[in-house]
């Protein structure tokens, strides 16, 4: 095992554990630690005024430090007290897996951290976004339940065949955009690819729609009133730029409703509008309203067709509780109702998420098909028939019958036995020498072998994934592209050394270094680096070295002249130091 487990993580199914990777805390450089510290100090100062009250409380409850990148092992020791855990992953993982982790009360954290060059915002998931954005809010019980319930429902959402292609394209863009030195042309090509895919997605799938809900709540949600909103979305809580931008009149504020599911988003740009929920409880109301329209709850022909269109492993549940899991390939319909369904390849039959003995993929390895619905001209469904009814219609062991279903589906053969559910309803009828036809044309013929016909008047549910997670080998995830680790030049390693020395001085682990020498060396060898100068300025202010602070401020003015886009970051950093220094002086007097 490449990670430290705990009771919550122990409950994860094997197919989710395949995404977990070690955090490798020692890989974080002193520059990474400085980036974390700058973002957190700036965010906490600003967010204390504009974030929902749960954020500041959650920072303390979840053990997230302002000065140090969180160690997931340490976080988990604290998170377990609120019933959650965290795991490290490599960038974006498939949406259904991401949501399924949430259903198990597990927070997925991309353990990489953004580059200094992308300190305000990165399209790639990173530990600032996941750790400092998502983790604190889950300390709020109402919101934590929303997140868990969202995962439970979201992982059942049916995807379209194009959803995975879009996921791969977004993952690729996030990787190359965060990687140092990626040519602009390559980034533009990747962005164009996403735009092209989004234009040709067709009717949005359930997964696409619920991802929209996730984006406008979990990632970019506001709470309160349209006129006086507070921030709770992780994307806003972890972005210096967007957390300020979203509070301006340039961003339209809209009351949150189910309409958010139909509002697409662009991960590469600031959001032009945001949705405001009155409270966390209302999030669950909208989620349940959305779920009521999913195949998970509606089933029937529309659900079956969604599974066929998805080309992914899915499950239908019949009104008897029998569940059929596989890759659905065909449906025969009559009067807008399914009368026959067909899978291709390995298929398993289950009842209440537990595979029926003898009905795993080894038995149904080439696929499975069955009629569904009522017998023609008979108002009583087979599942509702008592022993006398069954005998009256010749549905009895040892009898050769010809069962004609609505929609001209006919099943002929000798009945061997029936399988019942705990309520006593027949869920399977086993035939030998069975023949199935539609409009007198053969669909299947089972000579010399048994056929197990599913019993159910309706398809009551259709959803993504298998009913019994143990029925299929789900350990199939192969990462086609991993996050790119920057190759460090000798100059970069030297700069990291300077950052490390300043960090050691501030934390008291090595106070023998000369901060003046570090400053002079940095100016000579890294004249446009600004963050280390801000940290040195902070130390100079703390130690009352006004001349040194003045020299650093002058140097930073030169940096601003050379790279104007850094101006507001430098000003914010210095301003925060000056404000904290003034507050400390006031406290002393």
Q: Can you spell out the DSSP letters for 115-152?
A: -GGGSS--SS--HIIIIIIIHHHTTSHHHHHHHHHHHH
The pLDDT tens digits for 403-434 are 999 999 999 999 999 999 888 889 999 999 99
Selection from 268, 324, 369 nearest residue 463 by Cα: 324
Lowest mean pLDDT among 217-221, 352-356, 444-448: 444-448
Report how far residue 176's alpha carbon sits from residue 208's, in angstroms, rounded to the nearest whole number.
Answer: 24
Instruction: Please check the confidence at residue 583 and state whether its pLDDT lies above 80.
Output: no
The region of weakest confidence among 89-93, 279-283, 356-360, 442-446 is 89-93
Question: Other CB atoms closer than 10 Å to residue 152's CB: what's the count?
Answer: 16
Q: Which residues contact 288 (CB under 8 A, 6 or more apart)?
A: none
Query: CA 485, CA 181: separation in Å to the nearest integer?
Result: 11
pLDDT for 478-510, tens place per residue?
Answer: 655 566 666 778 888 999 999 999 999 999 998
Mapped onto helix, strand or coil, the DSSP state of residue 305 is: helix
Q: CA 8, CA 10: separation in Å to the nearest integer?
A: 5
CB atoms within 10 A of CB 282: 15
**What pLDDT was estimated at residue 588?**
54
Average pLDDT for 68-96:
86
Q: Hey, what are 336's tokens?
A: 């807008």
Q: Which two tokens stand for residue 530?
A: 């600004």
User: pTM of the prediction?
Assistant: 0.86
- Reduce the DSSP state of residue 410 to 3 states and report it: strand
In sign, the C-alpha dihedral spanning 538, 539, 544, 550 is negative
Q: What is the model's pLDDT at position 111?
A: 86
Residue 561 has pLDDT above 90, yes or no: yes
Length of the chain: 589
Note the pLDDT of residue 1: 46
Tokens of 208: 């696409």
> Can you tell me the distance from the alpha carbon of 299 to that of 290, in angstroms, rounded to the nearest whole number?
14
Phi/psi at 179 (5° precision):
-75, 135
Measuring CA to CA, how many Å separate 497 from each of 1, 29, 425, 520?
33, 9, 72, 14
- Using CA atoms, how far residue 506 sits from 121, 510, 513, in Å, is 27, 8, 11
State the chain's mean pLDDT as an integer.
Answer: 90
Q: What is the 3-state secondary structure (H, E, C) of 203-236?
A: CCCHHHHHHHHHHHHHHCCEEECCCCEEECCHHH
Distance CA 82, CA 145 (A): 11
Question: Can you read off the two tokens belonging to residue 338?
Answer: 């399914």
């Amino acid at each position: 095992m490449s990670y430290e487990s705990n009771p919550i993580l122990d409950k994860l199914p094997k197919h989710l554990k395949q995404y977990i990777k070690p955090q490798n805390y020692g890989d974080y450089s002193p520059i990474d630690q400085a980036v974390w510290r700058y973002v957190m100090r700036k965010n906490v100062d600003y967010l204390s005024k504009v974030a929902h009250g749960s954020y500041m409380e959650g920072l303390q409850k979840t053990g997230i430090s302002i000065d140090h990148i969180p160690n997931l092992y340490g976080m988990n020791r604290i998170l377990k007290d609120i019933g959650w855990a965290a795991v490290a992953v490599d960038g974006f993982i498939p949406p259904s897996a991401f949501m399924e982790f949430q259903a198990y009360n597990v927070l997925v954290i991309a353990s990489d951290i953004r580059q200094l060059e992308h300190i305000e915002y990165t399209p790639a998931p990173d530990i600032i976004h996941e750790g400092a954005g998502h983790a604190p809010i889950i300390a709020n019980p109402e919101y934590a339940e929303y997140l868990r319930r969202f995962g439970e429902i979201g992982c059942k959402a049916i995807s379209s065949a194009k959803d995975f292609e879009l996921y791969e394209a977004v993952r690729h863009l996030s990787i190359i955009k965060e990687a140092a030195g990626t040519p602009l042309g390559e980034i533009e090509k990747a962005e164009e690819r996403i735009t092209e895919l989004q234009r040709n997605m067709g009717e949005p799938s359930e997964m696409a729609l619920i991802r929209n809900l996730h984006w406008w709540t979990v990632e970019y949600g506001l709470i309160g009133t349209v006129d006086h909103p507070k921030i709770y979305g992780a994307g806003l809580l972890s972005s210096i730029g967007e957390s300020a931008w979203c509070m301006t009149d340039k961003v339209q504020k809209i009351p949150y409703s189910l309409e958010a599911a139909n509002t697409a988003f662009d991960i590469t740009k600031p959001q032009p509008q945001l949705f405001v929920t009155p409270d966390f409880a209302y999030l669950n109301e909208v989620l349940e309203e959305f779920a009521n329209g999913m195949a998970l709850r509606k089933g029937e022909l529309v659900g079956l067709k969604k599974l066929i269109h998805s080309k992914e492993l899915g499950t239908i549940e019949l009104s008897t509780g029998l569940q059929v899991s596989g890759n659905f390939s065909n449906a025969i319909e009559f009067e807008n109702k399914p009368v026959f369904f067909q899978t291709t390849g390995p298929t398993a039959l289950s009842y209440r998420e537990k595979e029926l003995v003898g009905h795993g993929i080894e038995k149904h390895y080439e696929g499975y098909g069955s009629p569904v619905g009522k017998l023609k001209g008979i108002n009583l469904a087979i599942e509702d028939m008592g022993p006398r009814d069954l005998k009256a219609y010749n549905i009895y062991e040892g009898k050769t019958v010809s069962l004609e279903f609505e929609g001209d589906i006919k099943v002929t053969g000798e009945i061997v036995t029936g399988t019942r559910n705990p309520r006593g309803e027949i869920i399977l009828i086993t035939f030998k020498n069975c023949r199935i036809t539609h409009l007198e044309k053969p669909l299947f013929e089972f000579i010399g072998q048994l056929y197990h016909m599913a019993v159910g008047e309706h398809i009551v549910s259709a959803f993504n994934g298998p009913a019994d997670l143990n029925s299929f080998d789900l350990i199939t995830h192969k990462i086609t592209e991993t996050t790119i680790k920057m190759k460090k030049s000798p100059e970069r390693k030297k700069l990291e050394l300077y950052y490390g020395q300043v960090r050691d001085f501030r934390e008291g682990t090595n106070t023998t270094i000369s901060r003046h020498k570090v400053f002079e060396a940095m100016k000579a060898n890294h004249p446009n680096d600004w963050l280390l100068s801000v940290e040195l300025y902070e130390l100079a202010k703390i130690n009352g070295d006004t001349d040194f602070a003045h020299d650093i401020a002058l140097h930073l003015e030169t940096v601003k002249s050379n790279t104007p886009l850094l101006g507001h970051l430098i000003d914010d950093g210095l301003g925060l130091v000056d404000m904290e220094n003034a507050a400390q002086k006031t406290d002393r007097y």
